[in-house]
Amino acid sequence: MARLGSVLKKLSGKKTGKLEKRWDFTVGEPLISAPFVGKDYDGNYVIIFATTRGKVYVLSTDKKVRWTFEIEETLDEIQMLFADKERSKTVSTIPLFEDIDGDQRKEIVVGSENGKLYVIDHEGKLKWEFQTKGTIRSTPILYDAGSPHGKILLFGSSDHLLYALDGKGKNIWTFMAESGIESSPSVLLKGGRDDQIVFGDNKGYVYGISPLGRLLWKFKTGGQIRAKPIITELISNPEHRQTILIGSYDKNFYALDEQGNPIWHFSSEGSIRSTAAVEDINQDGRKEIVFGSNDNRVYALNDRGEKLWSYETDFWVVDRPLIVDLDNDKKFEIIVGSYDASLYVLDSQGEFMLNYIPGVSAVAMQSGSYSDQITTDPGHYTGKKLWEYKLDSLIVGTGFEQDNHEIVVSTRDGKVSVFVHRE
Amino acid sequence: MALDYPTIERVPTYVESLDANLQGGIPKGNITLISGSAGTMKSSLCFNILYNESLAGKNSLYISLEQSSRSLLAHINNLGYDLSKVNIVLINDIAKLTQKMSEMKQSGNLVIADVAAIRKQVKGMEMGPSADWLNVIKNIISRMKEANTLDHFVLDSMSALYVLTHFEHPRAALFHIFEFLRDSGITSFLISEMPLDRSKYSQFEVEDYLADGIILLELTERQRKVTRELSVVKMRATNCNNDVWTLEFKNGKFKVLYGGQPPLL
């Protein structure tokens, strides 16, 4: 009977099935950063994550530990007294997994609270480390700057500097921001010298700097910036002008042009720490923007900054939403973890509210948060939950394995879990 | 099924009449802000608690961030406390921290950490980016707990900590300090310098609601006479009178007078 119901649902275009946990890997120490999920040179997927006690894990997707690396610190008695033993080795950056030095092997790059950037080779051995004078919470990126430096690593530190290092760890240039940098940089690609490196700082400035580290523009928001800017040709145009999309702790989500001028902003009711995801989620030929806010909601905006729908969870949404086709139905789903300890899969198109106020029983029958249902004006879209999986601890980050459609989730209590959608 | 309410153990303040008002004292494990302007005897009141608790066999830690241990002990001695009755352990050299910890008796220790002296010792030394004076405080507490039990802790003062440590996110940093102290289970007294205009109990104001209790000390001028006054602004899990009391200190003993004996106008 249940199977018949499922078939009928499917025929009517309704989503069926559920989220199922494939496995859990217990680390035994807290996690505060998202996992990296991607392919190694051998074509196999790996899951890479780092812990608050400075241990980096590389797992295969069948839960086997390929290798681990542990940050080591030698401190004398005086340095020990000054050190934050709980946090000094903490890794809060998402691991970067790229061939940074052209040796045809991918290295892992992580930054730590002790101010060091670590580059680890494919066997888990330290290649080199670089010391800054602050803590590193800004996830490093690799950027091909062309001649003469080639690929360079870019990351910020709480010492107010954005660093550019070559593949061997040599500091090429630094850029001094107004305050500490926790936002990961992004690159606005225009071709060679016209490229821009874009990032935010803790005083709320968004900067555009040249590939040689010279300030081009800066834009002030009203709060700290911890999200990574997303740069995209939001509205298709013949000159391929791009838009910078970034959220701030001032509760606003901003769209800036290539000169750092505001195009529009959208006000949420909470600080925005989540990095945005951009895709044509409703197949209307235009891009939409999805991000989380500390007002507990996930928002979907159109390319003019107007809300399409929002979905309310029970706590902050810090995780970057993933836009993927989880169930192979050629439609996108939004995957996002919340600090309420639930993993959500949302319908990318939301749900249309009927043009009448439903009774209590009708509200209770609908998916999604009741408060969203009740407060959304009839005739508009609201967020629609497809599936939810309750975990034991707040979700700090998610990743996606494309081949087998697996969701990888890191939780604060020190677990990495893998989920799949099953009919 | 009836709930099993835990009984509240209390730490006496050793201020005559005040303990009766506090149902026997401050709840054990509470964090109390001792707030007041200069000259209101904040440090002396805290030392009074630690001294008397040491006589009762408890282990205490007094961290002085600005006043040297030498100056502090001279002041306390002058107030009439017999320092020979308690086992005072002075920490003014980090290199001898382990040795000093071993000098502690099983009970009744009053450890004074002279951070002013330690500051001079480490001046100019290169430390890691996460190194700060807050970690020094946390690590001394942890080391003392590892070496022995620790019942009470005084930080003199929060204002000096703010000068020594730059907090990029002070509210978050303070939340973690209070969380650390609460998790450690020790009864803590945090001395807070009040601005002269008496506009707030603490610098970032977040301390007020993070603390379990606030004891306010004031100097009140009436004509040409200055009176010390004490009031319990808040004290969680305690049914107490929040009126202003007159605070007196005579022969090494504190006492409060309800309603006081206000000078004739």
Q: State the pLDDT at residue B264.
A: 45
Q: Which residues of B are less than 8 Å from A134 in CB distance?
A: 129
Tell which of A81, A88, A182 to mutate to test the B interface (max B CBs under 10 Å). A81
Interior CA angle at B79 toward B78 and B83, to 5°? 75
Between chains, do B139 and A85 touch, taking CB under 8 Å as contact? Answer: yes
For B196-208, give one letter per residue: b (16+ CB within 10 A) or e.
eeeeebbbeebbb
Task: Say whether pLDDT at B15 is over 50.
Answer: yes
Between chains, do A84 and B94 touch, taking CB under 8 Å as contact? Answer: no
Mean pLDDT for A37-62 is 94
Task: Say whether pLDDT at A85 is over 90.
Answer: no
Task: Say whether pLDDT at A41 is over 90.
Answer: no
Cβ contact B128:A82 at 8 Å: yes
Task: Say whether pLDDT at B145 is over 80.
Answer: yes
Strand ranges across the sheet with A116-120: A96-98, A107-111, A116-120, A126-131
**Stretch among A95-99, A182-186, B122-126 having the lowest mean pLDDT:** B122-126
Task: Please state, in angstroms and as integers, the Cα–Cα distance from residue A310 to each residue in A275, A302, B136, following that order.
Answer: 16, 12, 46
Tell which of B130, B132, B139, B143 to mutate to test the A interface (max A CBs under 10 Å). B130
**Stretch among A77-91, A152-166, A195-209, A365-379 having the lowest mean pLDDT:** A365-379
**Stretch among A362-376, B52-66, B195-209, B236-250 having the lowest mean pLDDT:** A362-376
Mean pLDDT for B17-39 is 94
Query: How far apart are the C-alpha atoms of B189 and B134, rounded to whole Å?
Result: 16
pLDDT in tens, A248-258: 999 999 999 99
Number of Cα atoms under 13 Å in the Cβ half of residue A156:
29
Q: State the pLDDT at residue A362.
A: 53
A79 touches chain B (CB under 8 A): yes
Cβ contact A52:A35 at 8 Å: no
Query: How far apart are the C-alpha atoms of A143 and B79, rounded to whole Å?
Result: 67
Is the ipTM, as predicted for this complex, more than 0.90? no
Mean pLDDT for B76-89 is 92
- In chain A, pLDDT over 90 holds for what percent of residues? 78
Question: A227 has which bridge partners?
Answer: none
Q: Which residues of B are less than 8 Å from A81 in CB distance?
A: 94, 97, 135-136, 139-140
Task: Say whether pLDDT at A13 is over 70.
Answer: no
Cβ contact B167:B210 at 8 Å: no
In the structure, what pLDDT confidence band is assigned to residue A395 with cuts at 50, 70 and 90? Answer: very high
Task: Say whether pLDDT at B127 is over 70.
Answer: no
Q: What is the mean pLDDT of chain A?
A: 90
Q: Give the helix, strand, coil percentages of chain B, each rounded to 5.
A: 35, 30, 40
Of residues B165 and B75, more confidence is placed in B75
In the structure, what pLDDT confidence band is assigned to residue B263 with cuts at 50, 70 and 90? Answer: very low
Q: State the pLDDT at residue A106.
A: 95
What amino acid occupies position B112? I
Of A77, A81, A114, the CB nearest to B129: A114
Task: Say whether pLDDT at A376 is over 70.
Answer: no
- Host H or E run for residue A419: strand A415-422
pTM higher than 0.90, yes or no? no
Between chains, do B136 and A82 touch, taking CB under 8 Å as contact? Answer: yes
Q: Which residues of B are less than 8 Å from A80 in CB distance?
A: 139
Query: How far apart are the C-alpha atoms of A132 and A113, rounded to whole Å?
Result: 10
Give me the total of CB pairs closer than 8 Å, taking one residue from chain A and one from chain B. Answer: 63
Q: Highest-confidence range of A69-78, A284-293, B99-108, by mean pLDDT? A: A284-293
Q: State the pLDDT at residue A323.
A: 97
Of residues A16 and B113, more confidence is placed in B113
Between chains, do B98 and A113 touch, taking CB under 8 Å as contact? Answer: no
Q: Which residues of A are less than 8 Å from B141 in CB distance?
A: none
Strand ranges across the sheet with A141-144: A141-144, A151-156, A161-165, A171-176
Of A78, A83, A115, the CB nearest to B122: A78
A112 touches chain B (CB under 8 A): no
Q: Which residues of A are less than 8 Å from B139 in CB distance?
A: 80-83, 85
Q: State the pLDDT at residue B265.
A: 37
Cβ contact B204:B170 at 8 Å: yes
Between chains, do A81 and B132 touch, taking CB under 8 Å as contact? Answer: no
Question: B231 has which bridge partners?
Answer: B216, B244
**Stretch among A31-40, A341-350, B218-227 having the lowest mean pLDDT:** B218-227
Mean pLDDT for B222-248 is 92
